[in-house]
């Protein structure tokens, strides 16, 4: 049995070696396209990109390599052995299920369904224990990545709710993850495989960092239970059934709990009659230098009461060199912060605020799958032919 230190060195060497393989660069390109799409939305909302898609991809690669090292150590330490051909059944099913709902692309669903078919009817003949191990460990890696890097590309959004303005954040992150696992075609041998892990969420009632911590905790718990069931299935066949059922069912419960927790919480990104609430602060802006944070309420600026964005614009219109802001912070209470410009006057604070009126705010809808969009269009067409 190898020591953890030996596994660590071996995993680092093999994972870093993945850089020379075209498959890894293909995974990186897929991640880059996702960040490019996110960057386009971010620019439409903010007018700028907080980070370039290339920088986001570079950071995602670093975290993906870290996740791959962790996953590889666990795979090797637990002596997980798979047959690469098993994934020829799982991947197509995952793509088919994603047309029903995007979240079904996760291997928890396709892996669970294929495993149950194999156990109940004997087709396809796959290594259920190995598949469940892969699903569990990849989710464990994902929970770590969500915790460490889940809020890097949060995008502030404004919408209407009951005729009032409401702020929120769209959170999307992707990572190319190379990992080492043993395959069995007679004699087990280590193979280098690649995965693209992704995290997408939407928060209206919780700060993004808190939301990602909660979700990372749920994912971690889910993965630990699935890994335990998979390990027990090596000695007890009953746990193959338990793991196969647990994977899709528990994943659905996680999604339900996340949505349920959101509904129970009080709006924190709504307008405030006594001031102007900050939704987000742009990087390298005056607002960031002053020390504004999401959720802060601006009460006065340079002695003038602030009730709307127009009040702020009336101050920055004259390009003052000093900004003295009285604000309410949820942790510290009322504080006064000041910024002095050494060069030209201050023409903008670089903050996204929540308006006191819900006018001119586009309604954000939950993304639909290709199949649901098609059915929606067909439904509209059928209604148009009715008398």
pLDDT digits (tens, 9 = 90+) for 134-147: 999 999 999 999 99
Alpha-carbon torsion (368, 370, 372, 373), positive or negative: positive
374 band by pLDDT with thresholds 50, 70 and 90: very low
What CATH code would you report for 276-353? 2.30.42.10
pLDDT tens by residue, 148-157: 999 999 999 8
- Sorted by where each begins, the domain ranges of the chain are 4-264, 276-353
What average pLDDT does the segment 57-76 reach?
Answer: 94
pLDDT band at 230 (very low <50, low <70, confident <90, very high): very high
Cα separation, 149 vs 146, whole angstroms? 5
- pLDDT score at 263: 63
| pTM for the model | 0.85
Q: What is the pLDDT of residue 177?
A: 93
Whether residue 176 is predicted with pLDDT greater than 80 in this model: the reply is yes
Under DSSP, the state recorded for 364 is P
The DSSP secondary structure of 69-116, one letter per residue, reads: HHHHHHHHHTT-EE-GGGHHHHHHHHHHHHTT-GGGGSHHHHHHHHHH
For residue 131 the two structure tokens come to 């598949």
Q: What mean pLDDT do residues 297-310 have? A: 92
Position 386 confidence tier, pLDDT thresholds 50, 70, 90: very low
pLDDT confidence of residue 186:
63
For residue 110, pLDDT over 70 is answered with yes
Peptide bond connecting 124 to the previous residue in cis, omega within 30 degrees of 0: yes
Q: What is the mean pLDDT of the chain?
A: 85
């Amino acid at each position: 049995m190898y020591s953890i230190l030996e596994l660590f060195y071996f995993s680092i060497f093999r994972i870093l070696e993945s850089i020379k393989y075209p498959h890894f660069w293909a995974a990186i390109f897929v991640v880059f396209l996702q960040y490019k799409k996110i960057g386009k939305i971010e620019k439409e909302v903010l007018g700028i990109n907080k980070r370039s898609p290339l920088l986001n991809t570079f950071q995602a690669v670093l975290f993906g390599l870290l996740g791959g090292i962790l996953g590889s150590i666990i795979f090797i330490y637990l002596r997980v052995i798979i047959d690469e051909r098993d994934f020829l059944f799982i991947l197509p099913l995952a793509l088919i299920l994603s047309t029903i709902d995007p979240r079904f692309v996760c291997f928890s669903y396709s892996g669970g369904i294929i495993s149950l078919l194999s156990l109940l009817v004997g087709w396809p003949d796959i290594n259920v224990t190995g598949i469940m191990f892969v699903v569990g460990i990849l989710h464990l890696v994902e929970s770590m990545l969500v915790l460490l890097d889940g809020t890097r590309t949060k995008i502030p959004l404004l919408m209407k709710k009951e005729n009032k303005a409401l702020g929120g954040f769209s959170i999307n992150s992707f990572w190319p993850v190379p990992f080492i696992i043993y395959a069995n075609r007679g004699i087990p041998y280590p193979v280098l495989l690649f995965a693209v892990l992704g995290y997408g969420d939407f928060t209206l009632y919780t700060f993004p960092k808190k939301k990602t911590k909660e979700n990372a905790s749920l994912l971690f718990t889910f993965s630990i239970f699935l890994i335990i069931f998979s390990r027990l299935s090596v000695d007890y066949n009953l746990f193959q059934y338990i793991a196969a059922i647990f994977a899709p069912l528990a994943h659905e419960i996680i999604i339900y709990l996340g949505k349920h927790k959101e509904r129970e919480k009080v709006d924190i990104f709504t307008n405030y009659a006594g001031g102007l609430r900050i939704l987000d602060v742009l990087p390298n802006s005056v607002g960031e230098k002053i020390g504004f944070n999401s959720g802060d309420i601006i009460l006065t600026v340079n002695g003038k009461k602030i009730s709307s964005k127009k009040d702020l614009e009336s101050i920055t219109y004259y390009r003052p060199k000093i900004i003295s802001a009285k604000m309410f912070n949820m942790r510290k209470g009322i504080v006064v912060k000041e910024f002095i410009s050494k060069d030209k006057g201050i023409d903008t604070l670089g903050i996204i605020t929540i308006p006191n009126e819900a006018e001119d705010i586009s309604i954000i809808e939950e993304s639909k799958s290709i199949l649901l969009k098609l059915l929606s269009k067909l439904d509209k067409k059928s209604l148009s032919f009715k008398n």
